[in-house]
Amino acid sequence: MKVQIIDSFEIKAGMPELKHAPGLVVVFDASGCGAAVPKAGDRVRAARRGGTGIELVIGEVKRHGSGRSFFFEGLNRKDLPVGSSLTWPDGGKSSRRRSKAASA
């Protein structure tokens, strides 16, 4: 599955009334994804318009009508600008990040 980021906003350290790690929230239209949207802890491939890509772990997923948002800790808008794409295997089952306990 491949989607395009249509909006984003940054969460910065010290924002009033937010108890959230700094990072980037990206929004995309999930109407064509069905139930195939990854969950928090899953990995997705993110690619900027120039083709530069990186594998990321989703920190949080939220539903907004037909839209969804993913939170990526430690990123900002320059790292993943609007127009970038997110990809994951069809069926929504992407690889999960191994927990520290599982890798010990």
Q: Is the dihedral of CA 20, 26, 30, 33 positive or negative?
A: negative
- 41 belongs to a structural domain: yes
Give the model's confidence band at 96: pLDDT under 50 very low, under 70 low, under 90 confident, else very high: low
- 101 belongs to a structural domain: no
The yes-or-no verdict on residue 99 having pLDDT over 70 is no
- Cα atoms in the Cβ-side hemisphere of radius 13 Å centred on 35: 0
- 102 belongs to a structural domain: no
The parent domain of residue 29 ranges over 2-95
- 103 belongs to a structural domain: no
- 38 belongs to a structural domain: yes
The yes-or-no verdict on residue 102 having pLDDT over 60 is no
- 14 belongs to a structural domain: yes
Reduced to 3 states, what is the DSSP secondary structure of residue 103?
Answer: helix
CATH code where residue 13 lies? 2.40.30.10
Distances 20 to 13, 15, 26, 43, 73 between C-alpha atoms, Å: 8, 9, 15, 20, 9
Domain count, the chain: 1
Q: What is the mean pLDDT of residues 80-98?
A: 76
The yes-or-no verdict on residue 74 having pLDDT over 70 is yes
Query: Is the pLDDT higher at 93 or at 10?
Result: 10
- 100 belongs to a structural domain: no
- 53 belongs to a structural domain: yes
Q: What pTM was estimated for this model as a whole?
A: 0.83
